[in-house]
Amino acid sequence: MIEKLKANALSLLLGGMVILAAAIMISRSGGGGGDGGDNTVDVNVPNFSVVGLEGEALFNTSCAVCHGPNAGGSDRAPPLVHTIYNPGHHADEAFFRAVLNGVRAHHWRYGNMPRLDVPREDITKIIAYVRELQQANGIATRPHNM
Ligand code: HEC
């Protein structure tokens, strides 16, 4: 009788630990995708150059739906105003490649970025816009060392 009670208590304890571990894993995965939860950033918005303003309009048409207003991120894609996208780690060429070929999820857990039908000259303006945002938020060129 006592042995049976002990066994029951033990299996309750083990069951509780399994549930706890599952709960921790679910809360770590952050629900809405992303790398451990909410990666959106508060963006300091500068006075844009003429090209930057054109880029802003293009960005809002083609990119903001995922990368969020002011490239601050959303639950669909990371902020581009983020130090890993500084020009030393993601040079302008990485932006052309991302838009023209799409991106396989690798830095984050949002999923893949589809290739988009945006002309090169428009991408150039979007890059100018993103770089101006990055600069206004203290994101400087850092050499690639990852
Ligand atoms: C349908 C959603 C979606 C749209 C629209 C979108 N992106 Fe993305 N983008 C993503 C996701 C998701 C990632 C992150 C992939 C990863 O690294 O895990 C990403 C990553 C990137 C990267 C990083 C590429 C790299 O080499 O790591 C750049 C640059 C980028 N996007 C630029 C743009 C630009 C510019 C536009 C608009 C022309 C745009 N994206 C529109 C979803 C989107």
> Exposed/middle/buried for 64, CB within 10 Å: 0-12, 13-18, 19+?
middle
Provide, rounded to the nearest whole percent, the portion of the chain with pLDDT above 90.
Answer: 69
Token pair in block for residue 33: 């995708």
Residue nearest to atom 19 of ligand 1 (CA): 113
At 29 the pLDDT is 42
Q: Check if 107 has its Cβ closer than 6 Å to any atom of ligand 1.
A: yes
CA distance 3 to 78: 55
CA distance 98 to 113: 8
Higher pLDDT, residue 108 or 5: 108
Highest mean pLDDT among 8-12, 28-32, 125-129: 125-129
From the alpha carbon of 103, which atom of ligand 1 is closest? Answer: 15
Residue nearest to atom 31 of ligand 1 (CA): 98
Q: How confident is the model at residue 7 (pLDDT cuts 50, 70, 90)?
A: low
Q: Check if 67 has its Cβ closer than 6 Å to any atom of ligand 1.
A: yes
Q: How far is the CA of 21 from the centre of ligand 1 (A)?
A: 33
CA distance 10 to 21: 17
CA distance 111 to 106: 8
* 51-108 residue pLDDT tens: 999 999 999 999 999 999 999 999 999 999 999 999 999 999 999 999 999 999 999 9
Q: How far is the CA of 45 from the centre of ligand 1 (A)?
A: 20
- C-alpha count within 13 angstroms, C-beta hemisphere, residue 120: 4
Name the residue of 54, 66, 130 to mutate for ligand 1: max ligand atoms within 8 A of Cβ: 66
Q: Check if 133 has its Cβ closer than 6 Å to any atom of ligand 1.
A: no
Token pair in block for residue 116: 């988009």
Q: How confident is the model at residue 24 (pLDDT cuts 50, 70, 90)?
A: very low
Asked if 26 and 19 touch (Cβ cutoff 8 Å), the reply is: no
